[in-house]
Structure 1
Amino acid sequence: MEKEFGPFHVTYRLNMYSMSYGMIYPNPATNKWRLLAIRKSKFNNWMCLLYHKEEPTSQILALINKDYASFNQLPESYKPLVRGYVKNTRFYQNIWIACVLMILSTFVLTASVMNICETLFSSEPKRHMIYDVRLPIDRPGAQFETPYFEILYIYMLYIAAVYTINFTGYDGFMIACVYHACLRIELFCKYVHDAMDYEGDELRKRLGEAVNHHCETFKLIEKCESSFNFYLGLVYVVVTTELCLCLYLVMEGFEFDYKFSSFSIGTILHIYVPCLVAEKLKSVCENASDLIYCCGWENNYDLSMRKFIPYMMARAQKPVAMKALGLITFEMSLFASTMKTAYSMYTIIKTQ
């Protein structure tokens, strides 16, 4: 009989392909190849991060695979919850992939189409770069001459491909990890709720299993924070700076450029997406205590269970959040404050 829920590389196939092609999939068997790629490539930020954080990310991946294997054995009443989270995770991953492809392809397709049109329909073809680059060691305009133009064009195609693969792979993996933690929290609440239908040793056994599940979930959240805290901090700093520059170029009388506008949208999305998924984790954890209280304990007269429930509620009330560098809490309020900070920086630049 075919299993409904498969491991990570089957459930999130597109994300697995992106991570594999970008050599950021946490697989110890490929360590030597990743080390070689890190030394040879100048665009190795993601490979460095995943290589440095290989242990926690490998543990996260192993736990996800273990959980999805066990989900096939769950009662049917649990499976709609799992299906919903798998569907939502795929949806947000696909939306992020579409956004990255749209933004980067704007530069690539625009330059390619304009070069083709100039070649076919212009008596004096004008060449267009994917990204505007000037050669500091040569005269102005030398980048449009052969062979500089062809070399730079191919190199920029390579850069666009690298960024597409790594942005979709790394951020998609982060979305999958955080949403899996949310799923485990909601499953824990359902375990407690269903345990109330039992009494005596069976009740205590099921509550014990639920508590172990809850403790493993907190460890998972800690591993997620450990794996992505530096990257989130880097995203915050880079996005704030880029937004400031975007505001300055857009509002200071420069001509409208749809390529630049798409880049501005991508910059905003790059801080919005992690804030959105982190806010989801925070809200699910905050609601866990209420869900435990509403599990129906008042209809069960087991005294040891009644003493145990308040401890479970207290533990569920422990604040949980995704933090960057252990300092910056990612949530929707951070997204709003980032927009305000970028505008404040723009105002300072404008008044100088």
Structure 2
Amino acid sequence: MHACGQLELIKKHLDELHEGELSEINLKLKDIALKLQYTYNFVEIMTSCFELFMEGTINLSSFMMPITFYQLIESTKRGAFSIEVSSFVIASFLMSSIPSYFSDQLLEKGEDVSTALYTCGWERHYDKRERSTILLLLIRTSRPVALRTMFRTLCLDSLTDMFQRAYAIFNLMNAVLE
């Protein structure tokens, strides 16, 4: 959420970029570039710290959710509701969904910043330094900012894939064990 807030601030600064003199515009661009670099570095540090944890959470949830859900269904068929098993299902759902949701928000904010950079009005100003700085920032924002695991980028699409795998495992367990 911190990175999303920083990207939103950068977007607001881009909206106010061409208010003032040429020297002020260049200072504003330098400030935007520094803030953008800070935000991208922050996301990279977060990704490197939690990369293995997020990969494990996504992959283990795709196996644990169907197993515990099947156990929950079987225990309710016998008339015993297990609060421990149901809380485990909910916890695995939340632990896999929350990072994917926030990473998807981060992807959207990164795209918004890239769009704001391109539509900031650079074509009306003929300063070569300003245009080259905006070009460099556009190149930097062309790579999406998001939380990544070892094998994929976390987003709602990867969460959907995980839920599809879990559902396939659940159906397979249900067909084999009944």
Tell me, yes or no, if structure 1 residue 194 matches structure 2 residue 16.
Answer: yes
Q: Residue 110 of structure 2 aligns with which residue? A: 285
Distance 1:246 1:240 in 2: 11
Indicate the percent of aligned positions where both proteins have the same amino acid: 23
Distance 1:255 1:296 in 2: 66
The superposition leaves residues 234-293 of structure 1 with CA deviations (integer Å, 9 ceiling, x where unpaired) of: 211321222121232244444351513343222212211111111111111112111112
Classify 1:255/1:242 alpha carbon distance in 2 versus 1 (closer, same or farther; 3 Å).
farther
Q: Residue 294 of structure 1 aligns with which residue? A: 119
Classify 1:196/1:250 alpha carbon distance in 2 versus 1 (closer, same or farther; 3 Å).
same
- Structure with greater helix share of residues: 2
How many angstroms does 1:310 deviate by? 2.9
1:330 aligned to which of 148, 154, 163: 154
Classify 1:302/1:254 alpha carbon distance in 2 versus 1 (closer, same or farther; 3 Å).
farther
Q: Give the TM-score of the pair, scaled to structure 1.
A: 0.45
1:306 aligned to which of 118, 126, 131: 131
How many angstroms does 1:225 deviate by? 0.1
Distance 2:78 2:113 in 1: 50
Distance 2:17 2:47 in 1: 31
Distance 2:131 2:167 in 1: 53
How many angstroms does 1:194 deviate by? 2.2
Classify 1:241/1:222 alpha carbon distance in 2 versus 1 (closer, same or farther; 3 Å).
same
Distance 1:221 1:323 in 2: 9
The superposition leaves residues 170-204 of structure 1 with CA deviations (integer Å, 9 ceiling, x where unpaired) of: xxxxxxxxx11111222222223323112332221
Q: Give the TM-score of the pair, scaled to structure 2.
A: 0.84
Q: Is the 8 A contact 1:193 1:296 kept in 2?
A: no
Match of 1:322, SS state, is coil
Classify 1:254/1:271 alpha carbon distance in 2 versus 1 (closer, same or farther; 3 Å).
farther
Q: Residue 46 of structure 2 aligns with which residue? A: 224
Q: Residue 103 of structure 1 aligns with which residue? A: none
Match of 1:214, SS state, is helix
Classify 1:222/1:203 alpha carbon distance in 2 versus 1 (closer, same or farther; 3 Å).
same
Q: In structure 2, give the amino acid aligned to 1:288.
A: V
Distance 2:164 2:72 in 1: 16
Q: Counterparts in 2 of 1:313-352, with a 5 A limit?
A: 313-324=138-149, 326-352=150-176
Q: In structure 2, give the amino acid aligned to 1:332.
A: L
Distance 1:302 1:186 in 2: 26
Moved more, 310-319 or 272-281: 310-319
Unaligned stretches of 5+ in structure 2?
A: none
Q: Is the 8 A contact 1:288 1:317 kept in 2?
A: no
Alpha-carbon RMSD = 2.2
Classify 1:191/1:269 alpha carbon distance in 2 versus 1 (closer, same or farther; 3 Å).
same
Tell me, yes or no, if structure 1 residue 180 matches structure 2 residue 11.
Answer: no
Distance 2:152 2:140 in 1: 23
Distance 1:203 1:273 in 2: 38
How many angstroms does 1:330 deviate by? 1.3
How many angstroms does 1:344 deviate by? 1.4
Distance 1:239 1:328 in 2: 16
Q: Which has the higher contact order (CA 8 A, sep 6+)?
A: 2
2:58 aligned to which of 236, 239, 244: 236
Match of 1:323, SS state, is coil
Distance 2:155 2:56 in 1: 16
Distance 1:237 1:290 in 2: 33
The superposition leaves residues 96-154 of structure 1 with CA deviations (integer Å, 9 ceiling, x where unpaired) of: xxxxxxxxxxxxxxxxxxxxxxxxxxxxxxxxxxxxxxxxxxxxxxxxxxxxxxxxxxx
Bigger-Rg structure (1/2): 1
